[in-house]
Amino acid sequence: MYASIILPTYNEAGSLPRAIEALRAALSGREDWEVIVVDDNSPDGTWQIAQELGRADARIRCYRRLDRRGLSSAIVDGLSLGTGERLLVMDADLQHDTSKVPELLAALDTADVSVGSRFMRGGGTGEWSRRRLLLSRLATLACRMVLGLRTSDPMSGFFAVRREAFLKVAARLNPRGYKLLMEMLTLLRVKPVAEVPYVFSPRLVGESKLSGAVVWEFFLSLAELGTRNLISARFLKYALVGLSGVGVQYASFYLLWRYVLGEEAGTFAAIGTAALSNYLANNSWTFSERRHSSTADVLRGFGLFVVISACGAFINQSVTWYLQHLGALLPLAMAAGIAVSTVWNYFLNLDLTWKGHARPE
């Protein structure tokens, strides 16, 4: 088969039939293609529409995912199902220019990956808000600096890849958020990337699922990819939460506990408050897909978290003293203590407090 077109969908009932119509028109010269709609059990019944379209034309297949959510993982699943020599990914909401599909596919004659780009001559973003434009530019620049990617639009959701190239890296992809292309380009180390300009159209129906959380996720993954997985995005989240705890401890002490309990007991209460806030933040963010939700789980989890942190504090203190004893300057000895205990706390919490099988996003 020549090509598989992957359409990830979530609540796109209003656009999907037209998107497929447009694809049919764009590919009218050939017969040997298929469309794979990967729908995450959309409440608006997009998957039903896809299935109906499939009954009328067997080249249209639908994978209704019941156990997962997320754009990148939907794309990876679709790419894995594709039987075409060439795989193409595009949005199902008509914001990508379907007339460029043949060009993107043809570009794979000489490249492993071809990217539909909004940020090159001939491309454009249509009516984007200032904030979105700025974020997108920032993300592109960061990709360039951290990962050395040469594409003008590494965040594009409109791209094509040879199946054999995709299969080479498929198992190593960590499909989260919206940054799949960036990850694939990094793993494939494709140097010259074929690019095809297109203008991003405004959305006609439905709404964007790009959220603030997705943007965060992007910058954390960049660190992960940039350090070749040495620093995981999860660890960064954990460290950021730890840092936020310092703020909580000071704030709750000076604004509250000092007046309620006095200096001595207040210090204690402030430490407890910081521990609680760290636990809650880790539970809802760092380990979100393993979240404790029942009261019993939360109580047990918090207890374990406190015990691990207490051991961590002891290790922190011991390392600091030991290094000081060896003649290290206090600030450096302290930094080492913090680093060692953070790593200790992280791995124990990962393996004990939030252990178990990750529930899918």
**Interface residue list for Mn ion (CB under 5 A):** 91, 93, 95
Binding window for ligand GDD (CB under 6 A); candidates: 67-75, 164-172, 185-193, 333-341: 67-75
By CB under 6 A, residue 82 contacts ligand GDD: no
Q: Is 97 in the site for ligand GDD (CB under 6 A)?
A: no
Give the Cα separation of 193 and 49 in Å (integer). Answer: 35
Q: At what angle do helices 212-226 and 130-142 cross, to 10 degrees?
A: 10
Chain centroid offset of residue 108 CA = 26
* Shortest distance in whole angstroms from residue 94 CB to Mn ion: 8
DSSP for residue 350: I
Toward ligand GDD, which CB reaches closer, 155 or 239? Answer: 155
What SS3 string covers 68-109? CCCHHHHHHHHHHHCCCCEEEECCCCCCCCHHHHHHHHHHHH
CA distance 299 to 6: 44
**Binding of residue 117 to ligand GDD (CB under 6 A):** no
CB of 223 to ligand GDD, least distance (A): 19
Crossing angle (nearest 10°) for helices 258-281 and 233-252: 170
Q: Which is nearer to ligand GDD, 218 or 238 (CB)?
A: 218
In the complex, minimum distance from the CB of residue 227 to ligand GDD, in angstroms, rounded to a whole number: 23
Whole-angstrom distance, CA of residue 88 vs CA of residue 306 = 48
233 to 115, 212, 354: CA distances (angstroms): 26, 16, 16
Judged by beta carbon, residue 11 or residue 353, the one nearer Mn ion is: 11
Is residue 249 at the binding interface for ligand GDD, with CB under 6 A as the rule? Answer: no
Q: Is 183 in the site for ligand GDD (CB under 6 A)?
A: no
Residue 177 touching ligand GDD (CB under 6 A):
no
Place of tokens 């973003």: 125
Out of 178, 198, 238, 302, the residue judged to bind ligand GDD by CB under 6 A: 178
Is residue 71 a contact residue for ligand GDD (CB under 6 A)?
A: yes
- Which runs of consecutive H residues, i.e. helices, occur in the chain? 16-26, 46-56, 71-81, 101-106, 130-142, 163-169, 180-188, 212-226, 233-252, 258-281, 295-325, 330-348
CA distance 257 to 157: 50
Q: One symbol per residue from 133 to 172: x for binding ligand GDD (CB under 6 A), - otherwise; what is it?
A: ---x------------------x-x---------------
Closest approach of ligand GDD to the CB of residue 92, in Å: 4
The angle at the Cα of 196, spanning 140 to 187, to the nearest 5 degrees, equals 50
**One residue of 93, 112, 217, 224 binding ligand GDD per CB under 6 A:** 93
Q: Choose between 210 and 340: whose C-beta lies nearer to ligand GDD.
A: 210
Q: Which of residues 200-239 bind ligand GDD (CB under 6 A)?
A: 208-210
Of 5, 6, 20, 92, the residue at the interface with ligand GDD (CB under 6 A) is 92
Question: Which residues make up the interface to ligand GDD (CB under 6 A)?
Answer: 8-10, 12, 38-40, 69-71, 74, 91-93, 95, 136, 155, 157, 178, 208-210
